[in-house]
Structure formats: structure tokens, C-alpha cells
Amino acid sequence: MRLFPSRRRPGFHAGDDLQAGIAVRLDGVRSEALETGRSRLIATALAFVAIFGVIVVRLIDVSVLDYQSPRQSGPAKARTDGIEMERADITDRNGILLASSLPTVSLFARPDDIRAARVDVEQAAARLTEILPELDVAETAATLSSSRQFIYLRRNLTPRQHQDVNALGIPGLQFEKGESRVYPHGSLLAHVVGMTDIDNSGIAGIEKHFERTLRESREPLMLSIDIRAQTIVRDELARAVAEFRAIGATGMVMDVHTGELLAMVSLPDFDPNDPPPGTDPALFNRATKGAYEMGSTFKLFNTAVALESGRININSSFDATKPLVFAGHVIHDDHAQNRWMSVPEILIHSSNIGSARMALEVGTETQRAFMARIGMLAPPAIELPEVGAPLVPNPWREINTITISFGHGLSVTPLQLLAGTAALVNGGEYRNPTLVAHAPDQEIPGVRVVRPKTSAQIRDLMRMVVTVGTGKKADVPGYEVGGKTGTAEKVGHGGYRRKAVLASFIAAFPMDDPRYVVLVMVDEPQGTKETFGFIAAGWTAAPPTGRIIAQIAPLLGLMPKPPTPPQPVAERNRDGRPATATSQTGGHDVAAFD
């Protein structure tokens, strides 16, 4: 066999060194084999380099060039790996998981199969209760020997329970695959997210309202809630309830331009992973279901309709020298000034007499029409089944006009108060509140309820309530908080209960360009040494409101501004710009009451 057919075989002659010739030929073979191996190694190395190069380029493309922020791309589906659940997840606006489903199994029995296999039901029941101690031996034995064809013994077993029951090998016992809803944050969002029943069907909150959507969609449902704000609001409400020995509280935060709710808390609450009985008061959502007389917070609406009517301007003044007697009723001020008061003073001092005289000047029909426009006469539109209807007087007489001016005689939900105030401060447009997140660039149309000029004046007045009026304890340096206190006696048998009140504070910030409104309502606070025994909203609801704003403002991207001295309320042009200024207190000191 020729190794090198292209070459001519060398000849040998007598005297030649035969061994040397063979060595030369072998050296040539080795050299060529080495060259071939080296070429193959180089080719293989280049192939590996090319493959790794493609991988590196793809990694850069995926992780860097194709990157999107979580808010833009949406949160990843929180699915159990390899298993599609029947119900979609629920997340907050930042993609934090609020509700999800886990695969589980349920234990059921077929009594006919148990009888056919001649199983000792007493012994089987005893062995089952060793693994599932919540079962009763006698009841389980009766179930296993019943005439029913199918009966559940235990729903949603743990993996250990599943394994241990299966290991018993009892004929007639079988397992059904399913899923169980879990709520990672427990009671934090109980009244928002709601819960499902044993069959994983929504029975409360978002779970019930979006029942069909959650079953049909494979993508998570993103709520407007920011769990950071939700945590802060709940912590401060719990602190207020404990400090003032209150029976409950509610609090909310809303974006004034979109209507998105960033927080909604109602105390007491419950853990949807282990819900209480259906009659437990913790299931009641005070924020959306309860209708209350909101007290002096309604003076914001009374002032707005007065300024909007054209009959009253910021310079108008009203007689508050003595109580107002009307149709056998006596209207008085808790801390009477006993003098004529300007529109700013009436709001700052929270004068019932001045508010009543303003309402009479405006008239019943104008007041009722305004309350309808600003959402006070119909249930609020919100994605929850637990929504209460307002209690509206019918007929709406002049005495109702008077009492409604200072927050009595018309009961509304706290959510209605929040949404109405947002319309007063955002330039004058009402937007329905929502628990579903909007796209960042989505325009939310609104319905105009007051002129920009009126809105600007209300903002000035709300700021004054905090700087020199009843809401001083809600002020937060650098955030220009404005607001209004409200302390409403609760209705009892035979009339109002003097020592049982709803203390509320409705706030907005920053008042030069409002972004958010905040509501805190404390139900039946008790006086303390620190409040000198007072239970009014300025002492009980304003402080937690200020603490909430101080904590959530930086989280929401609002930086504090240098403090500025209080400015007098200004007459405004039609576009809301200041015109001529008026005295904010008429030369009199302002007492911080209500």
C-alpha cells in the first residue's frame, strides 16, 4: 500500500543505510499526521468560538438592548412552573404579587367502592384522623359507610397529608387535583382584593368583581394599589385606633388626575387566607360600603358651590354674631366668634352659622344640583361589589339645605368624599375612582364640576385651614398640605350621641399643584392626656394624615420644597390666577378647633 502515491519510490543501492531510509519515511508520515491533527484542532476551536460568540451576542441583546422597565413590560406571570392555573394572579401597580393560586389536591371517598372492598370503616376512620386530626372519628366512619356515591373528606391537603393518606392504601379513597388561592400579604389588602370560596370562586372584593376576567385571562390583573402606600396607611390607622381606643378607622390615597386609588384600608380587617364567619364586622368595608354624615368636611363643597354660583365671592361676609334660628332649629358654633365673618374665616373657623347663611344665599336647587354633579347623590363607581348608596333627603327642604352645608342630613361613603374633594383641587374635573392601574400615558377624561378659578380658591382656603386653622397637626414641612377637619356626632336612639363621633380629615398635597388626596376617618375616638381630652378631628384624624403624607410623598417621587410663609386668599381670575388679595383672617386670631 502506497502512503504517498504522488511521489516516486526512492531506490536503494548496495552500501546504502536501509534503516536510515525507513526513518526518513516515518518522519514524513508523522509530520503530515501532526499537521492534519493541528488543522482539525484549529477548525474545532474556531467553531466553538463562533458558537460562544453567537450566545454572547444573544445574551447582550436580551439583557441589555431589549430591556424594558417592569412598569412598561408588565410583571411576569406568577405561575407555578409547568402548571397553568384556572385563575389569573392579581398584582399591585409595581408588579408585586397580591393574590395567586397554588396546585393542591382534595380527598374524597366513594362509599360504594369502600363497601365492595369490605373495608373496616371504623379502622379506616381512625387511621385517617391520625393524619387529619380535624376530622372526627365517628363522623368520618359514618361518612365512609353512607349511601352517597361521592363525598369530600378534606379539601386542599398539604403535600405531606397527601403522601401520608395515599400511603394508607385504603380502597375507595381518591384524590382530586385542584388549586387553592393564596394571599401573600394576609390582611393588608383584605377589603380590596377580597377572597374566594372553597371552590376558588370570587365571593368578595376584586376577586368577585373580576370573576370572569380572572378565569379567562392568563395575564395578571394589575391594580392601581401601591403596596408601599397601603402598608403606611394601614400602620398609621392601626396606631390611631390603638391610641384613641377607637372602634375602627378607614383611610385612602387617590391620584387627583387619574382617579387611581393607591391605598384603601378599612379597620378592623381580616385575613382572607383564614376568613372569619360571614357575620363578623371585620368583613365590612367602611371605605365604600358605609354611609356617614361627614361633618364639617362638607363645608368644602358648600364653599365651592357658593363661589361657583356667582352670588358670593371670596370677599363676601355673613352675620355670625349669634345663633341662627330656622324652622324651630337652632344652629350654633361650637366656638363662636360672635361677629361677621368672611368666606375664608367661615371655613377656617369651621362656622356652622356662616355655612348655613351661605347655603341659604345659594338656594336649595343650586345646592342639590351641585351635590349631584360632584358625585354625592349616587353610589360611587368602583370595581368592588361592596358599595353603599348615599342616604339622600326626600323631600330636600330648606332645613336640609342648612344642615347639609355643615355635613349633616346627607350621608355618603368616605370614597365619595375623597373623589369629590379630588375634583375640587385638580382644576375642577370629576373622575371616577378606580382600583385598576392605568397606562402611564393614558388620558383619563373628566367632567367639569367647577371652574379653574373656583378650584384655585378652594386650594388656597384648604391650605389656610392647615397653616392657621383647625388642621395644623396635619402640616408636613415642604409639602404644602391643605385640608379640612370634620367631627360629626353619630346618630343614636332618639338623636345624636354627643360623645360618639366620626373624626375625619380630608387632605391634598402639594397645594400649589395637587397630586394626591388623602382621607383619614377615625370611628369613635376617645380623648387622651395628649389631646387634653378632645376627640375632635384636629386632634385625632389630622395627626395620622400628616404622618401618612410625610412617608408616602418621597416614595411617590415628590421632593419637599423650601417652606414659604402663608399667603392671603386671593380673588382669582377666570383661569385661576391671583387677582386682588383679601385679608385671610380679618385681623382676628384663628382658633384651632373642630
Query: pLDDT tens-digit profile of 542-582?
Result: 999 999 999 999 999 999 988 666 555 555 454 545 554 33
Q: Name the nearest CA neighbour of 380 among 427, 432, 332.
A: 432
pLDDT at 492: 77
Q: What is the rounded distance in angstroms from the CA atom of residue 400 to the CA atom of residue 410?
A: 8
Q: Which residue has the cell 411617590?
A: 556
Euclidean distance between the first and the last CA atom of the chain, given in angstroms as a whole number? 115
10 Å CB burial of residue 382 (0-12, 13-18, 19+) is: buried
Contact 470, 593 (CB under 8 A): yes
Residue 511 in 3-state DSSP?
coil
Domain membership flag for residue 33: no
pLDDT at 588: 33
Indicate whether 391 and 540 sit together in one domain: yes
Between β-strands 90-91 and 221-222, what pairing exists: parallel, antiparallel or unpaired? parallel
Q: Name the nearest CA neighbour of 96 among 218, 252, 221, 233.
A: 221
Indicate whether 219 and 252 sit together in one domain: no
Indicate whether 250 and 213 sit together in one domain: no
Domain residue limits at 96: 90-223
Which of 184, 201, 223 delimits the end of a domain?
223
- E-only strand ranges, 422-481: 429-430, 447-448
Indicate whether 173 and 251 sit together in one domain: no
Domain membership flag for residue 41: no
Q: What is the dihedral of CA 86, 89, 90, 91, to 10 degrees?
A: -170
Number of domains comprising the chain = 2
Domain membership flag for residue 304: yes
pLDDT at 421: 98
Please, how many CA atoms are within 13 Å of residue 448, restricted to the half-sphere of its CB? 8
Domain membership flag for residue 50: no
CATH of the domain at 409: 3.40.710.10
Indicate whether 219 and 233 sit together in one domain: no
Instruction: Specify which residues 223 forms β-bridges with.
Output: 436
CATH of the domain at 133: 3.90.1310.10
Domain membership flag for residue 345: yes
Contact 366, 345 (CB under 8 A): no
Q: Which residues neighbour 403 within 8 Å (Cβ) at sequence distance 6 or greater? A: 409
Q: Which among 106, 180, 266, 296 is annotated as catalytic?
A: 296
Domain membership flag for residue 2: no
Q: Name the nearest CA neighbour of 253 among 568, 549, 580.
A: 549
Q: What is the dihedral of CA 182, 184, 189, 190, to 10 degrees?
A: 40
Active site residue 147: no
Domain membership flag for residue 54: no
Domain membership flag for residue 188: yes
Indicate whether 212 and 291 sit together in one domain: no
Q: What is the rounded distance in angstroms from the CA atom of residue 529 to the CA atom of residue 17?
A: 121
Indicate whether 484 and 364 sit together in one domain: yes
> What residues in the chain have per-residue pLDDT under 70?
1-37, 43, 45, 47-50, 52-54, 56-83, 563-594
Indicate whether 347 and 372 sit together in one domain: yes
Query: For the whole model, what pTM was predicted?
Result: 0.79
Contact 259, 445 (CB under 8 A): no
